[in-house]
Structure 1
Amino acid sequence: METPVPTSSPSRFAAFGGGAIIGLLGGLIGLGGAEFRLPLLIGVFRFAALEAVILNKAMSLVVVATALPFRAGSVPLADVASQWPILVNLLTGSLVGAWFGAGWATRLNSATLYKVIAVLLIMIAVVLVFGHNTTSSGRPLFGGAALLVAGIVAGFAIGIVASLMGVAGGELLIPTLVLLFGADIKLAGSLSLAVSLPTMIVGFARYSRDQSFQVLGRNQSFLRFMAVGSIVGTFTGGQLLGIVPDNVLLPGLAAILLVSAWKVWGHR
């Protein structure tokens, strides 16, 4: 097992700074930044794969729990609650997927989990470039039972990915909400948070049964500083949203994910 990150002042500063930078990147594209934070935890802070996923999950929970009320000024919570059929549809699949994905992650050896994470980082990079600027048709892609089944299947797949990487899943949920359910892009951002929070809690509960969950207790100071940095960065990035053109920002961030995937793939 890898040595826990020391809780010295320099390490705390690095944790805060790293969290802030990652949060800023995520905030610039309207996400929590967990997909960028995971490679940082593995490659820079040298946590083992499963420990990094659990730490990432814990910090994602903090970011998402604060992001939803932050957005209430532009997207009232009543508007989110009024879309409860969509929330229930996706949650039916995502909660099961989250439990299944977390269980799968705890059974994989580290070498395999590194490769799974690398593949998922590549997938998210592709979605970031081709799925982020999706536009809503204003109507669902399917109707009746077909939409119900599609929502459950999509939620299940997203729940698995979210648990395996310790992310909120917004990079996958938002395109799904827009393309599958015809949701407005701004509303989709808040709906994705509403789906992500219980989905992450289920995955977190499953991880708590594994001995690697003790990484949270051993690194409480590190976790607090990085979580605060992530919130500060995400909030700042949100205020700067639109400053950098998407046709410059998104390919650049996708490139970061691809380089991270390559490094994670070969991690030992």
Structure 2
Amino acid sequence: MRDNKAATFGGGAIIGTLGGLIGLGGAEFRLPLLIGAFEFGALEAVIVNKATSLVVVASALPFRASAVSLGDVAAQWPVILNLLAGSLLGAWIGAGWATRLKSATLYRVIALLLVGIAALLVFGHDQHASGLASGSLQFVAGVAAGFIIGLVASLLGVAGGELLIPTLVLLFGVDIKLAGSLSLAISLPTMIVGFARYSRDRSFAVLRQNQSFVVVMALGSIVGTFIGGRLLGMAPSAILLPLLAAILIVSAIKIWRHE
């Protein structure tokens, strides 16, 4: 199955489309696919997942610029730096743990967390809210949230958008479409830090051993993010919010069943 380039490209394209449309790296879907269909070991799957997600995140941000300008993203630099203050440290620590630990309990905790966030988005969010906190309290909450998100992102090999977007919407009162692009801008440096930490482990060799697979899936992901970026301008926020919640629930089910 790992040698089937059509399946690899197609899987990357579908997941990349979700990444471009919603602002996710798509890794919550890719991880079960890498372990189940392509038969990677758990830690190897996390590393391949992170490498591919890095491509998705890097390409999705400019592809979304037609609907959410890079100027609008840059204008939110205080929010970006607030979350990065915690996420970069969390990413480094999480990657270190992932090279030593395998915990089914962790996957179940994350699954429950995703369901909780989905419930908040559907039942507890006003799309015109100004944020749940302000001032120094908001800053401290942002650093703490960033740390947890960076930790989770590195442990599972994800971009962290499934947690970043709800945080941006609920804590900072950011519009859902802008939150998707901000999520990508925060995920990129966070993932690079985690990736640098993974490079120190011998399991990192999986990328050299599967170069062709990673390249094909990455190319499929770039095509997908381009499609997702074009679709973003036609998708109203009222649809994106419940769609994100549905993706979180599906992801939670997949992660809960993961061993």
Map Cα deviations across residues 181-212 of structure 1 (whole Å, 9 max, x no partner).
12222222211111111000000001111111
Q: SS in structure 2 opposite 1:46?
A: coil
Q: How many residues are paired up? A: 255
Q: Distance in 1 between matches of 2:122 and 2:202?
A: 36
| Equivalent residue for 1:160, pick from 151, 154, 159 | 151
Measured at CA, do residues 68 and 28 of structure 1 come closer, stay the same or move farther in structure 2, by a change above 3 Å? closer
Q: Distance in 1 between matches of 2:179 and 2:240?
A: 18
| Equivalent residue for 2:9, pick from 4, 10, 16 | 16
Q: Distance in 2 between matches of 1:33 and 1:63?
A: 8
Q: Distance in 2 between matches of 1:191 and 1:170?
A: 9
Report the CA distance between 1:27 and its aligned residue: 4.7
1:201 matched to 2:195? no
Alignment TM-score, normalising by the size of structure 1:
0.83
Q: How does 1:1-268 map to 2 (within 5 A)?
A: 8=3, 11-27=4-20, 29-108=22-101, 110=102, 112=103, 114-128=104-118, 130-131=120-121, 134-240=125-231, 242=235, 253-254=247-248, 256-265=250-259
Q: Distance in 2 between matches of 1:179 and 1:96?
A: 22
Q: Distance in 1 between matches of 2:135 and 2:210?
A: 48
RMSD: 2.7
Q: Distance in 2 between matches of 1:255 and 1:77?
A: 30
Q: Distance in 2 between matches of 1:252 and 1:141?
A: 23
Structure 1 residue runs of 5 or longer lacking an equivalent are none
Report the CA distance between 1:238 and its aligned residue: 4.5
Q: SS in structure 1 opposite 2:99?
A: helix
Report the CA distance between 1:125 and its aligned residue: 4.6
Q: Distance in 1 between matches of 2:242 and 2:74?
A: 35
Give the AA of the match of 1:264.
H
Measured at CA, do residues 228 and 91 of structure 1 come closer, stay the same or move farther in structure 2, by a change above 3 Å? same
2:121 and 2:241 in contact (8 A); partners too: no
Give the AA of the match of 1:191.
L
Question: Percent sequence identity over matched residues?
Answer: 62
Q: Distance in 2 between matches of 1:230 and 1:39?
A: 16
Answer with 22-31 or 204-213: which moved more: 22-31
Q: Distance in 1 between matches of 2:229 and 2:20?
A: 5
Report the CA distance between 1:155 and its aligned residue: 0.5
Report the CA distance between 1:52 and its aligned residue: 0.6
Q: Distance in 2 between matches of 1:201 and 1:195?
A: 11
Measured at CA, do residues 166 and 146 of structure 1 come closer, stay the same or move farther in structure 2, by a change above 3 Å? same
Map Cα deviations across residues 41-72 of structure 1 (whole Å, 9 max, x no partner).
11111111111111111111101111111122
Q: SS in structure 2 opposite 1:131?
A: helix
Measured at CA, do residues 178 and 107 of structure 1 come closer, stay the same or move farther in structure 2, by a change above 3 Å? same
2:87 and 2:143 in contact (8 A); partners too: yes
Report the CA distance between 1:118 and its aligned residue: 4.7
Q: SS in structure 2 opposite 1:107?
A: coil
